[in-house]
């Protein structure tokens, strides 16, 4: 029934598209808390160009600077195999052999920061292309900036004032992301209001509102985790299914440990399309260094990046707890349940 | 399927109820624009007790004062028959004879204000109970306060500053409502952000969020209008079906001139219940003189009133255009379409 007048889901998507542009709003200075709250109220993203240009991080960071500043630090690194061209950490991935689509979590290990950074830079320059290799991405989303990287934390704002004042809460987590152009984050959504600040390199977002759930072909995927073969650094990575009960259990997976996850990629639209995918109008935005993005709660986002002179991509994001009261959260669940009940 | 775990509509209602109280939030001073915007963002009502106590209208108006101030004015009055105990202006009503449920619009006529007011007061005191009579309610919602009643407009605020600043727009309409305890407004919703201020008497609201559409038993009703029999003031009122094409056509009626309208009354829950009505948790609030209510866009509201010493009920409301962008409006349509497609 997709696309017909009698199909409530198709009508939902087309009505939304008619009333909302698919071009992101660009601001040239930070909004006031009230102006920000208007965007929160309509659950609509915006980008503030050059908002963080004056931050110490924007003015002083470079690959060399970070290597020096974190010379003695050990950091958590997400490792995935090279064969896939880009990182598939936290992505739908086919198991070797069975071909089963699973939710692949990266191998995580601590590495001396300088070694990690050299690897990332060498890979970006394709120096490492001749060796069987892997993709490394510092992407722990556990408030890492106020823990692992706390020595650099004074170089960014401790919060985003317009967001803290508007939402009347401090950030729940502040995360630093360091990788190269191989670091891709698959389409997913978070239950947070998110402020994303680019420091080095460029970040490319593909964004879709939460009501696009029927477009993304969410599937319950078995969780699997990469491990180093034989515990050996040079033997490559092997994807192993998690034991039942080990899965993170995001609460929507029906208690079987499966992870409900989007399997449609808006950049390669054919595979894994649903009957509704063609009705999605993804919003695309590229952040240059110093740009700031408001990514509203529950928006689907796919993130890729490209490097500039520094051969690394560095960004910071601020997660603020979303407000679960009001109609948005139940309505988004309703769209999902309605789609699931008819498919 | 209502009420089962596999029923998305039942799940929507119960999830909403779990995440939101059914008791209205009470403030004791007006919110700032930012605080107000937080309520707009979560589409959630609040009441500010005594907010308008200092307004000149609150301090000086009484039945006698209004009669004097508007001694020479003629005002538009909505007239409906007495037999129904309370006004059924803009209400689902059974036609005499056929018994068909139609959307009854009041007879509207201009009356000298003092004559109108005397009638309303006498009826409240039951002086008029012995004569075949009618219910009169000054309730034109066409920005009447800045037109018919403009001579009194300086006695209230020209707008609600926190709402004007937050929503970044002037009020679209400001309406004055004058009636007695017979004046009831049937359950309905408006596409406006609404600030309601009580001046004389008390107003009793029953409120339900827009996602309660599956609870209200919306039916496409033929529009009908009361007319005075033979054009004679004393011959009573007769309900006549509008000619096709004459209907106001609210855009949701399918172009046949029918008015889609809630037929469930949350105060007499049995009749016209749907399978979902029992899952509604109506929020009830009474406004005393000086109280101010924020009634969010698209909330269902039924309004009744009771008089205090003055034997009249007077209120003012400020309508601000709602923002149709963002997910709320399309999502509310989606709930409606999903319900309609399964029933």
- CA–CA distance, A260 with B119 (Å, rounded to integer): 65
Element (H, E) at B316: strand B313-321
**Average pLDDT of the residues in B83-112:** 89
Contact A260, A247 (CB under 8 A): no
pLDDT of A250 above 50:
no
Query: Pairing between strand B192-200 and B313-321?
Result: antiparallel
pLDDT category of residue A247 using cuts at 50, 70 and 90? very low
B153 close contact with A: CB closer than 8 A: no
So what's the pLDDT on residue B254? 55
B129 close contact with A: CB closer than 8 A: no
pTM for the whole thing?
Answer: 0.94
Residue A203: strand pairing partners: A287, A305
Q: How far is A190 from chain B (nearest CA, A)?
A: 17
pLDDT category of residue A83 using cuts at 50, 70 and 90? low
- CA–CA distance, B72 with B77 (Å, rounded to integer): 15
Mean pLDDT lowest among A301-315, B74-88, B163-177: B74-88
pLDDT category of residue A86 using cuts at 50, 70 and 90? confident
pLDDT category of residue B270 using cuts at 50, 70 and 90? confident
Contact A324 B44 (CB under 8 A): no
Other Cβ atoms within 10 Å of B240 Cβ, number: 12
Smallest CA–CA distance from B14 into chain A, residue: A330
Phi then psi dihedrals of residue A239, to 5 deg: -90, 125
- CA–CA distance, B131 with A56 (Å, rounded to integer): 83
pLDDT category of residue B64 using cuts at 50, 70 and 90? very high
ipTM of the complex as predicted: 0.93
Average pLDDT over all residues of chain A: 91
Mean pLDDT lowest among A52-66, A162-176, A238-252: A238-252
Other Cβ atoms within 10 Å of A243 Cβ, number: 9
Domain limits, chain A: 26-342
Other Cβ atoms within 10 Å of A155 Cβ, number: 19
So what's the pLDDT on residue B130? 53
Residue B317: strand pairing partners: B175, B196
Average pLDDT over all residues of chain B: 91
**Of the partner residues B44, B323, B335, the one whose CB lies closest to the CB of residue A326:** B44
pLDDT in tens, A294-332: 999 999 999 999 999 889 999 999 999 999 999 999 999
Contact A155, A57 (CB under 8 A): yes
Alpha-carbon separation of residue B27 from A32, B285, B291 (angstroms): 24, 13, 10
- CA–CA distance, A187 with A210 (Å, rounded to integer): 12
Residue B104 DSSP code? E
Q: How far is A9 from chain B (nearest CA, A)?
A: 7
**Average pLDDT of the residues in A171-195:** 96
Q: How far is B261 from chain A (nearest CA, A)?
A: 20
Q: Which residues contact A227 (CB under 8 A, 6 or more apart)?
A: A107, A237, A238, A240
B191 close contact with A: CB closer than 8 A: no
pLDDT category of residue A130 using cuts at 50, 70 and 90? low
**Average pLDDT of the residues in B242-263:** 71
**Average pLDDT of the residues in A329-341:** 97
pLDDT category of residue A92 using cuts at 50, 70 and 90? very high
Cβ burial A253-284 (10 Å sphere, 16+ → b, else e): beeebbbbbbbbbbeeeeebbbbbbebbbbbe
A333 close contact with B: CB closer than 8 A: yes
- CA–CA distance, B251 with B60 (Å, rounded to integer): 42
- Using a CB-CB cut-off of 8 Å, the residues of chain A touching B4 are none
Mean pLDDT lowest among A31-45, A131-145, A292-306, B175-189: A131-145
CATH number of B26-342: 2.60.120.10
Which residue's structure tokens are 């119960």? B14
B1 close contact with A: CB closer than 8 A: no
**Average pLDDT of the residues in A164-191:** 96
So what's the pLDDT on residue A255? 65
- CA–CA distance, B62 with B15 (Å, rounded to integer): 45
What is the share, in percent, of chain B residues with pLDDT greater than 70?
A: 92
So what's the pLDDT on residue A232? 72
So what's the pLDDT on residue A133? 77
So what's the pLDDT on residue B129? 54
pLDDT in tens, B1-40: 444 558 999 999 999 999 999 999 999 999 999 999 999 9
B341 close contact with A: CB closer than 8 A: yes
pLDDT category of residue B250 using cuts at 50, 70 and 90? very low
**Hey, what's the torsion of the CAs at B209, B211, B215, B216, to 10 degrees?**
70
């Amino acid at each position: 029934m997709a696309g017909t007048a009698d199909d409530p889901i198709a009508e939902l998507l087309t009505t939304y598209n008619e009333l909302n542009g698919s071009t992101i709003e660009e601001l040239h200075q930070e909004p006031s808390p009230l102006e920000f709250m208007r965007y929160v109220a309509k659950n609509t993203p915006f980008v503030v160009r050059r908002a963080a240009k004056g931050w110490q991080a924007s003015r002083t960071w470079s690959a060399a600077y970070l290597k020096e500043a974190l010379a003695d630090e050990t950091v958590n690194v997400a490792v995935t195999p090279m064969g896939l061209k880009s990182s598939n950490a936290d992505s739908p991935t086919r198991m070797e052999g069975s071909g089963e689509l699973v939710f692949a979590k990266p191998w995580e290990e601590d590495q001396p920061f300088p070694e990690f950074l050299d690897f990332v830079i060498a890979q970006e320059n394709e120096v490492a292309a001749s060796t069987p290799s892997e993709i490394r991405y510092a992407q722990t989303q556990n408030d890492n900036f106020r823990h692992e990287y706390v020595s650099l934390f004074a170089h960014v704002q401790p919060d985003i004032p317009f967001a803290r004042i508007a939402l009347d809460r401090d950030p729940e987590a502040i995360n630093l992301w360091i990788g190269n152009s191989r670091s891709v984050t698959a389409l997913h959504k978070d239950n947070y209001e998110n402020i994303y600040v680019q420091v080095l390199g460029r970040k490319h977002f593909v964004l879709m509102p939460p009501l696009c759930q029927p477009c993304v072909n969410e599937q319950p995927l078995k969780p699997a985790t990469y491990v180093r073969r034989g515990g050996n650094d040079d033997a490559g990575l092997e994807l192993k299914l998690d034991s039942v009960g080990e899965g993170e259990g995001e609460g929507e997976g029906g208690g079987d440990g499966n992870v409900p996850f989007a399997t449609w990629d808006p950049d390669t639209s054919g595979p894994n399309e649903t009957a509704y995918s063609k009705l999605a109008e993804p919003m695309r935005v590229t952040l240059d260094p110093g740009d700031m993005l408001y990514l509203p709660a529950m928006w689907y986002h796919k993130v890729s990046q490209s490097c500039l002179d520094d051969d690394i991509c560095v960004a910071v994001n601020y997660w603020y707890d979303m407000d679960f009261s009001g109609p948005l959260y139940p309505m988004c669940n309703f769209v999902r349940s309605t789609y699931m009940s008819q498919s």
